[in-house]
Structure 1
Amino acid sequence: MVLDAQSLENRGLKMMKVLILSDQKPGHLNPSISLATLMGWDYDVFNLRYKNRSAKKMSYLCDGLFIKAPKLYKSLPEKNSYELIISAGSNTFYANKMLAKDWKIPNIALLYPRGYRLNFSHILCPNYDHPPKRSNITALPVNLSCTEPNWYRKKATEFIKNQHQPHRSSIGLVIGGSSFRSKIDPNQLREQITDVLEKTPEHEHWVTTSRRTTPEIDALLQEFPFDYQLIWSQNPYNPLPAFIELCEQLYITEDSASMVSEAVSYGRSSVTVLETQTLKKKHKLNEFIQNLISDGYLKDMYTVSDTPTKKINIKPLIEKALRDID
């Protein structure tokens, strides 16, 4: 443990003010906010940045040698009015530890802090990271995402008012992009979309892309008569929360653990994953997807069952883990 802090249970799980340290990456900040929202905590966000790349490398050495080096960062919060620190991402973990020790409060790391000592008050990380079995580590089946019904209803209302007024039940397609792990093949995606549209002619069909979607895939989507289409490169609006709230079925490319996690954690949609060309056959994302399929939270395109997929609720798991922090 970083410190001998009063337990979160004694401090009051529902009445806490927490500090979120952010590296300004949505994939790291959003889970931190989701945790605070899930637990009913008030929060502030402080943006962090190392002075340079060498400073980040030095942080691993300093942490291993128990050296405090706040000057590795451009700035750090000076005033403590918080009862807990949360952060996600390697750019935040060292600062998280220093501040928690100075302020004598508990801290939580989201994602596995590889390369750093594991002496956080608690670590919440995906189970595909295969973390060691320790009392201060909880492996989660999905990434943290917002599951607040009022937030989704608000996003759906905004979508209907400003984006599209649906007239029939809807099918949503969520297209990600290529990465070092996988590649979206245009011909494969064309066949997948054609199959979805042919099997659901009575539905509206909506599609959204993401910041990683290539121009080639953007152009491919123009071949289809979608009732609603959002091309992120032309309009960086995020309709995914509205899709999750409103769509009867969702089809999501398998390249994004965060998008898949959000879809299987909330809503009424049955979720099917669209296969991509995997560049690393044994990558942890493959394991993540296959585990969700095996447990009934996802389908693949080859599943013939009409049984809707289940939704996963990780709140009880998190509440149990955080009650044990000291």
Structure 2
Amino acid sequence: MRVLIVSDGRKGHENQSIAYAKLKGASFDIVQLRFKHPLLKALTYLLDPLRIYTDKLFEPFEIEGDYDEVVGAGSGTYYGVKLLAKRLGAKAVALMNPKGFRKGFDTIYTPYHDGGKLPINFAQATPLGLYRPKKRCVALVVGGSNSVFSMDKEALESVVEYIFEHFKEYEKALTTSPRTPKEIEEWLDGYGFDYKVIYSKHPVNPLGDFIHNCDYLFVTIDSTSMISEAVSGGKAAVEVVPLHAKKRNKYQRMVENLAQMGALHIFDGGVGKAQKKIELKEYL
């Protein structure tokens, strides 16, 4: 089986499509479609209901060979998925929820938090050999503020203190992310973690190593991608760290559903032992 991945240039979206292809045991190629002008993306919402598909909206690109499926994740890919699927005689597959587009896809995989059945995003965490603990370990993965959550020291302080108080015999690992506020990074850098990645200083991603090597994994609630990776691989008991929310949101819906499934525990001053892993192949 051969899959063509349509990318909008966003790694989080592209990685979902890559995970999907790997789960299907398919070989894949990636084509990034770039709109000639940002406003042309809005035009795709008008052309799609009219069933008008043209490559004139995009910078020149080349496609060679035959494909069984064309897949994309994110609003910037869905028009391109339909365009290329029609051109190649392949099936059109949408990941996430293609809101605003005609449901003319062969398959749509919508996550639970967007009203679908898939409990998480498509994800596969791959160890990179960045972190190899010498004994049992606990890891903290810190995201950042977004449209619904505020990341502050108060939200994390009790978690960090809990880790150092209750996991004294464990190696302690930390990574921040591209969205972590600088003041949070500076504050966390002052703690004696045995291994730490301060992303602004050292932009690498040890999440795959944490997932596959650690016994406990604490992850802030602000990233569906990080949580999806955490609950779909490795052996770690997953703890999700709540943050102050401006309103009820999809992250909370996702996490609450996964907690009911036994795939994670929402940190409440104590830890659970939620180690059930989501088998995404069951949803294909």
TM-score (norm 2): 0.95
Q: CA deviation at 1:259?
A: 0.4
Please say if residues 133 and 213 of structure 2, whose CA atoms lie closer than 8 Å, have aligned partners that are also in contact: no
User: How far 1:312 sits from its partner (Å)?
Assistant: 1.2
> What residue number does 1:209 align with?
176
Deviation at 1:304, TM superposition (A): 5.0
Of all paired residues, the percent bearing the same amino acid is 36
User: Who is 1:120 aligned against?
Assistant: 105
- Is the Cα contact below 8 Å between 1:299 and 1:309 reproduced in 2? no
Paired residue type of 2:57: L
Secondary structure, aligned partner of 1:18: strand
Contact 2:130 2:206 in 1 (8 A): yes
Task: Give the aligned partner of residue 245 of structure 2.
Answer: 278
Pair 1:306–1:55, CA change in 2 (3 A): closer
The superposition leaves residues 226-271 of structure 1 with CA deviations (integer Å, 9 ceiling, x where unpaired) of 1011011111111000001110100000001100110011111000
Q: Distance in 2 between matches of 1:68 and 1:159?
A: 44
What's the Cα RMSD here? 1.6
- Please list every run of 5 or more consecutive structure 2 residues that lacks an aligned counterpart in the other structure: none
Task: Determine which structure has more spread, i.e. the larger CA radius of gyration.
Answer: 1
The amino acid of 1:140's aligned partner reads L
**1:306 to 1:67, Cα distance in 2 relative to 1, 3 A:** closer
Q: Look up the SS of the partner of 1:265 in the other structure.
A: coil
Aligned with residue 223 of structure 2, among 256, 262, 279: 256
The aligned residue for residue 10 of structure 1 is none
- Report the number of matched residues: 284
Aligned to 1:182: 149
Higher relative contact order (CA 8 A, sep 6+): 1
Q: Indicate the larger mover: 62-71 or 263-272.
A: 62-71
CA contact (8 A) 2:158 2:269 kept: no
Residue of 109, 130, 140 corresponding to 1:159: 130
Shift of 1:99: 1.4
Match of 2:81 in 1: 96
If the length of structure 1 is used for normalisation, what is the TM-score?
Answer: 0.83
* 8 Å Cα contact 2:175-2:206 kept in structure 1: yes
Q: 1:42 aligns with which of 27, 32, 52?
A: 27
Unmatched tracts of structure 1, length 5 or more: 1-15, 132-138, 319-326
- Alignment of 1:143 with 2:121, yes or no, is yes
| Structure-to-structure mapping, 1:1-326, within 5 angstroms | 16-131=1-116, 139-146=117-124, 151-152=126-127, 155=128, 158-160=129-131, 165-280=132-247, 282-302=248-268, 304=270, 306-318=272-284
The offset of 1:46, in angstroms, is: 0.7
Q: Deviations over 1:267-299 (max 9, x none)?
A: 11000011111112x211111111111221111
> 1:62–1:69: 8 Å Cα contact kept in structure 2?
no
**Counterpart code for 1:112:** N
